[in-house]
Structure formats: structure tokens, C-alpha cells
Amino acid sequence: MREVKQIMAKMTRCLEAPGLLIVGFGFNDNHIAEPILAAIETNLAMKVAVVSPSLEDQGNANQHLSKISGLIDQGDARLSLVAATFEDIVPKIPDVSAMTDLERHIERVRASRER
């Protein structure tokens, strides 16, 4: 029980982030889906993309996905529902370990000094 509380506390902290990518979660588990929806409603800076191959099949049957879809229909540009598989979406995710502008600049300066 203690481990579950720790996991839920960690998830709650993660929901304060500026972005959330949800892959393969069908929003059928209320104790996970409801905090996500609460974060969508309260964290106006958070952008959320939900990726699942069965979104089209689940959309109207799932109350949580229906809420997200309704917000999108009302113009909430922070939210996206993407009907795709994990294999479809991974190549489209940017490499977060890529060099920053500062790192690229340092490399350019270093290279220019070695000439």
C-alpha cells in the first residue's frame, strides 16, 4: 500500500510539468485518469498528447476521453488525441538528448580554436 501511495505522489508531481505524453493508456483506470483530467483543467501551461491505436474505438465509450475530446472540440489547442501505435509515434518524438544551443556554440568555438 505504501508503494502505491508513493507512485501516486510521484505521478501527481509529474502532472505539474509543462508537457505530458500518454502512450497506450486507455483512461479506463479512474484513480489514474481523474488526476490527469484535473491537471488538464488546472494547469493551463501543460500540453497533453494522448496516443493510442484504439482512440477511435474508445472515444465515445470512455467518459475521460470524451471530456478531452470535448475540450479539443471547444478549441483547447493544448490537447491532442492521436490514433497511432507506439511504433508509429516514436520516430516522430524529438531527441531530447540532442545538443542545446549553448552546447552547439561551445563546440563551434572549440572547433574554430583548433584550426
CB-based contacts of 86, cutoff 8 Å, min separation 6 = 23, 24, 51
Q: Which residues pair with 79 in a beta bridge?
A: 48
pLDDT at 101: 82
Range of the domain at 91: 2-114
- Report the amino acid identity of residue 112: S
Grid coordinates of 115: 584550426
Higher pLDDT, 112 or 93: 112
pLDDT at 97: 66
Number of domains present in the structure of the chain: 1
Condensed to tens digits (0 to 9), the pLDDT of residues 75-91 reads 999 999 999 988 998 88
Q: Report the share of the chain in percent with pLDDT over 70.
A: 93
Condensed to tens digits (0 to 9), the pLDDT of residues 30-72 reads 989 999 999 999 999 999 999 988 877 655 678 999 999 999 9
pLDDT at 39: 95
Q: What is the pTM of this model?
A: 0.72
pLDDT at 36: 95
Grid coordinates of 19: 508537457
- As a dihedral over the C-alpha atoms of residue 78, residue 82, residue 22, residue 19, rounded to 10 degrees, the angle is -30
